Structure 1
């Protein structure tokens, strides 16, 4: 079968021909139709799991995947051949991911039915980005009319966050380029901060990546329109220095979360701010709940583009996302 693999950590991802995996006891084989692309995939290829999880090589990349159950191992009771399913294809040993024509996963892993009316492409965009956004909103306990700032709002997680924070009643401020203003407004943002127009960071400061957002300018822009501060910060892209500046906007008693592990949690606690570095723990029940929201039309799946499997190396880590990229298999 065709798959996107790396031969070792740090190697260039490539299209390869590998054996079709057979389901073992308690496992489900899925004929994949679509797979999501996430920043985590590049981190896996570069060695994020080295020393943390056993890994088989060549390592098939990809975590998010959707398709049809094609075979069952002995003892499987939750699924039947022909079921439409979506899930996370990352279990030990790593290296048997979703960027392939077939994958196997234990039936008790994160694998759930796709409801009627939801396509495989839409479903494949949900497991990491969508569930992370849903978990963040629920952790922050957003109340009606609270002010919510989303830094990095146009990517996969951000596009879901805008919608879910808006559904919770939040007044959403999104950072985005000017040409994405209409996009984030349609998703539910009330205000937009164009990070390309705010004061740039000091170019002599090596801690600032010119490809990322500019910290003090975003904070100044939000503080100008909200001098009393904000209630919730979701920062999806910043380094520690930038996150610290953005966190100064949050009122005492508020919430601030970083998905890039940039938060100084002790400093937040000293300012009576809850949150910190966030890692989604959502599994099957949370994914099913999000799928139900999509099926009912309450949540739109922001697929930016769909590309064939062989194009995965070209889009991996491309940056400047406007929603989700999905591989058609």
Structure 2
């Protein structure tokens, strides 16, 4: 079968011919139709799991995948051949991912049925990004009327987070390039901050610190419209310095989350702010809940590009996403 692999951590992703995996006891074999592309995939290739999870090489990349159950191992009860399914194809040992024509997964892993009317391409865009967004909203406990700043609103997680925060009743402030204003507004943002537009409220500071010029467009703009602060910060892209500046916008008693592990959690606690560095723990129930909302028309799955499997090395790690990239297998 065709698959995208790396021969070692830090290796160059390449198209390779790999054996078709057979399902063992309690396992499901899935003939994959589509696979999602996430920043996590590049981190895996570069060695994120080294020393943390046993890994087989050549390592087949990819976590998000959707397709049809093509075989089941002994003892499987939850799925049958012909079922349309979507899930996270990352279990120990790693290296048997979704960027392939076939993959196997334990039936008790994150694997759920795809509702009627949802395509495999749409479903494959959901597991990592959508579930992370759902987990963030659930953890923050958003209340109607609260102000929520989403830094990185046009990416995979951000596109879902804008919608879910809006559905929770929040006043959503989103950062995006100016030409993406309409996109995030359609997803549910009440305000959009163009982070490329400089707003040097303090020209002396900007002149002495050019690196702060772009960041000032976010912090100054939000402070201007919300001088009393915001309730919740979701920062999906920033490093420690920018996250710290964005966190100054959060009022005491609020919440601030970083998905890039940029938060100084002790500094947040000193200001009575909860949250910090966030890692999604969501599995099948959260994914099923998202799929139900997509099927009901409450959530739109923003897909920026659909490319063939062999194009995966070219799109791996590509920046400035406006939605999800999906591999057609």
Distance 1:22 1:298 in 2: 37
Which structure 1 residue ranges, 5 or more long, are not aligned?
none
Give the drift of 1:216.
3.2
Distance of 2:228 and 2:141 partners within structure 1: 20
Identify the residue that residue 145 of structure 1 maps to in structure 2: 145
Structure 2 residue ranges without an equivalent (≥5): none
Aligned residue runs from structure 1 range 228-307, under 5 A: 228-307=228-307
- Mapping of residues 111-126 of structure 1, within 5 Å: 111-126=111-126
Output the CA distance in 2 between the equivalents of 1:79 and 1:148. 40
Q: 1:171, 1:144 → 2: CA distance?
A: 8
Tell me how far apart the structure 1 counterparts of residues 76 and 227 of structure 2 sit (CA, whole Å): 57
TM-score (normalised: structure 1):
0.96
2: CA distance, partners of 1:105 / 1:197: 46
Secondary structure of the structure 2 residue equivalent to 1:150: strand
User: What is the CA–CA distance in structure 2 between the aligned matches of 1:45 and 1:199, rounded to whole Å?
Assistant: 39
CA RMSD of aligned residues (A): 1.7
Cα deviations across residues 14-44 of structure 1 (Å, max 9, x unaligned)? 0000000000111000000000000000000
How many pairs does the alignment contain? 325
Task: Give the 3-state SS of the residue equivalent to 2:245 in structure 1.
Answer: helix
- What SS does structure 1 have at the residue aligned with 2:65? strand
Counterparts of 1:187 and 1:197 in 2: how far apart (Å)? 22
Q: Deviations over 1:147-203 (max 9, x none)?
A: 100000000000000000000000111100011000000000011110111258979
Please state how far the C-alpha of 1:253 moved relative to its aligned partner: 1.0
| 2:145/2:169 contact within 8 Å kept | yes
Contact 1:31 1:69 in 2 (8 A): yes
Question: 3-state SS of the aligned residue for 1:214?
Answer: helix
Q: Which structure 2 residues correspond to residues 124-203 of structure 1 after superposition, within 5 A? A: 124-199=124-199
CA offset digits 1:44-93 (Å, max 9, x no partner): 00000001000000000000000000000111010000000000000000
Quote the Cα distance in structure 2 between the aligned partners of 1:258 and 1:203. 28
